[in-house]
Structure 1
């Protein structure tokens, strides 16, 4: 759901900006900033790199398994907390002010307090993850200060929305995030199940992610005036052929999703490859908007065809 987190935040903030009549550049800037903040909580997966190192030399599934098993030691805890989201968003918003000594002091004091507090309650590893989390938020705050026409209050709201929506997107995959960390309380105890069949659940979660991406595309089109159907090539319908893969790859589940996810994403190349041509010995660049939308359409068609085939066979 990594892309889905960003797409959902982009769609929410972008639709509000469009409804308020903001200029295209400002609306897209705010939406992109929200999407970026929505990805920051997954910085905790940096610890999973230790798992890849330990599994070096193994096959692809062994490396993937080590990546997730190591990353899950700290994943969906500190960075997915609704309790910590407001102060982290405030830390980002502090960067959108004049670079005074007072701002630098407040940034340092808040940052050190958060790292120390989490480190004391959760240990050194939690403190390390918090440091990465804060660095990501501060970096985006500096980017907003330089490139996005938003006030500090608007950056705070945008950051908070991105950070706070992320944990809810994780309720469909894996263990529910520790949304009230570091409090000794649980907001959601079980994963939200879309279907009793584990394959249909995975397909449903993938469909939700596609829906959020399409929502972001629609909002971007509203902001820019681009019609989303104009650049889509009929080649996208070839994605229906992906239904045949049901005979070639294992039925996907949350525990074994890689063969399905990587192969269905590969269908998106239908949007790019046919558009790359040699003209007088020079590679002609494709229309990237059309290529991306055609690829996304092909993936959507492939997902739908596979789902229909699975239900029919099952």
Structure 2
């Protein structure tokens, strides 16, 4: 941040603190905001030829914004990432203009490049079940095998994020009928725990060589620390190669599968939103598109064609 003026740096730190304290943004989100806005401020410094204080920042033009976007896109940044960066920068500038009593509506009107939302890539129901069975075969150590199976059963059976499953502690076991999960942005939700998930975790704990302690990780790595998401991803990658599944068959795809299969079975969209912990129903509605896409695939294969 050496190219940024002290006033702009202090303003950025104050805004980031507000995002974390008032809006409940996660550490990862705050870090991403910091990178995006820092990159923007560094570019503006170079673009203008000197470090920009608060008043100069309030006088930025649409042309300045377009120059930054062109520069960023020229670094190979895709439309989706560009839209995220622009959103962070506009949020910071909006906060700054409100604090300074300045009018920067023209700058805030800068538009991000359009991109097509990628639909979630769930596994088919039989593939999801087979993945859970196959991941248990990836380790010669019985406790590691049952651990990995228990993790995937939680992702698929309860719709947990990988970070949420691996964030469970010993005090959470034996798993109750319902789990209280604190997800993104500190949002708490209550999730029913299916018997298969409770049984899988109990089986893992019976074999785990590490003692179950209330404040210790529930899922442990081979050295006893908290199991890392990367370890689960690597194990699942080996399993999907054996099964001939695409690269999209990741731990997060198990959560997508949970939502899509619930919807296919007639699940209520609002209820699924609550189970997933989505802040917006529009996020959950992407699964409607997935379900329709799968329906059309079946239709195209099964519908009799005129000869």
TM-score normalised over the length of structure 2: 0.30
Considering Cα pairs closer than 8 Å and 6+ residues apart, tell me whether 1 or 2 has the greater RCO: 1
Structure with greater proportional helix content = 1
- Larger of the two Rg values belongs to structure: 2
TM-score normalised over the length of structure 1: 0.30
